[in-house]
Amino acid sequence: MKMIFLRSIAVAVFSALLSAPVFATPDLANGKTIDQQKCYACHAKKTGFGNGDMIYTRSDGKVKSLADLKKMVSLCNAELRLDLFPEDEVDVTAFLNKQFYKFKP
């Protein structure tokens, strides 16, 4: 009886582990492509200098942490209806962090 109970617990734990979401490493190339296709032109217009990267490096920037960067990418996606999947947001955040911000994970 005890053995059957333990086996049931083991099966339940193993099943739960198999169904848990797997978090892949961010795809920096995808993040860069999305930034170039969906972000750069808007940011270039917003800065007024025709350079979309300037928004990331300005001294009065709103992004002060990795958490802020994640929120900003998510906000832009929602407000501008960019239709990015959650994994795309992760990719863009990772690319921008590596390219411009250099926040520690």
pLDDT tens digits, 61-74: 889 999 999 999 99
pLDDT at site 48: 87
The model's pLDDT over 8-40, given as tens digits with 9 standing for 90+, comes to 565 555 555 454 455 679 999 999 999 999 999
Region 82-101: what's the mean pLDDT?
97
Question: Which of 80, 100, 104, 93 minimizes the C-alpha distance to 25?
Answer: 93
User: Taken in order 55, 57, 61, 67, is the CA torsion positive or negative?
Assistant: positive
Using alpha carbons, list the distances in angstroms from residue 92 to 2, 16, 52, 105: 51, 30, 14, 15
Q: How confident is the model at residue 101 (pLDDT cuts 50, 70, 90)?
A: very high
pTM over 0.85: no
Both structure tokens of 18: 């198999």
